[in-house]
Amino acid sequence: MYLGRIISIGSNDEGVYASYRVSSRSFPNRKSVINEEKVAIVPTEGSEGDIYKNPYISYNCIDIIDDICVVTNGSHTDIIAGKIREGMNMRDAVALSLLAMDYEKDQYNTPRIGGAINMKGEGYIGIVTDSGIEVKKVNPGEAYYVSVYEHNTPRKVDYDVKNATEATEYIYDKGVFSEFTHPVTSCAAFGKDKWEIDVKNP
């Protein structure tokens, strides 16, 4: 099954995580790059011209603000993170940014998905489509994912990982995510007292 881009946030006994996977049929030549406390999705070497074909393929997908991690499938990462830095709570930052940015104005009306979670395991995950918006609370000990296609409402998931590397590998092709096709790259932040970040670029 093809779900396109996927985000997942949650927590377990080992810690808290926020992860992201790019799945793509049209623009597979992309990678995840760590830049201090952020992760960006960028074209691979030789494919830089793809950004002129589609403005939505390069963006920050993870941003860490103190004990909060933001994860999304587009440029609204920066909007959500900016609102949180200004003092807005996670729920309002996710909801307002999704509403303001709206779905992507491409030929597929691709939804925007986004989430934010703190070190206590409290967070929010949401999606805006051409027909509506949904933002769901995530409680400590819970984990959810949402994708731009098919599974475009937050779903509970068992996310049994112990560190950022395992979280990155898991969303790429482990557990339920192994059923979803065309993985390109993935990344994740994980922590208990301090966030750590890892990426997977096959």
Question: What pLDDT, on a 0 to 100 scale, did the predictor assign at position 52?
Answer: 66
Determine the 3-state secondary structure of 13 from DSSP. coil
Give me the phi and psi of 90, to 5 degrees please.
-60, -45
**Up-side HSE of residue 183: CA atoms within 13 Å toward CB?**
21
174 pLDDT band (50/70/90 cuts)? Answer: very high
pLDDT at 25 over 90: no
Beta pairing partners, 69: 64, 117
Domains of the chain, earliest start first? 6-200 (3.60.20.20)
Question: What pLDDT, on a 0 to 100 scale, did the predictor assign at position 45?
Answer: 81
In order of 50, 87, 114, the CA distances from 176 in angstroms are 30, 35, 20
Percent of the residues in the chain that have a pLDDT greater than 90, as a whole number:
83
Question: What pLDDT, on a 0 to 100 scale, did the predictor assign at position 17?
Answer: 97
Q: Which residue has the tokens 């995510």?
A: 177
Lowest mean pLDDT of 54-58, 65-69, 108-112, 131-135, name the range.
54-58
Question: What pLDDT, on a 0 to 100 scale, did the predictor assign at position 26?
Answer: 76
Q: What is the mean pLDDT of the chain?
A: 93
Give the Cα separation of 103 and 98 in Å (integer).
8
pTM passes above 0.85: yes
Give me the phi and psi of 64, to 5 degrees please.
-110, 130
Q: What is the mean pLDDT of residues 36-40?
A: 95
Answer with the residue of higher pLDDT: 143 or 106: 143
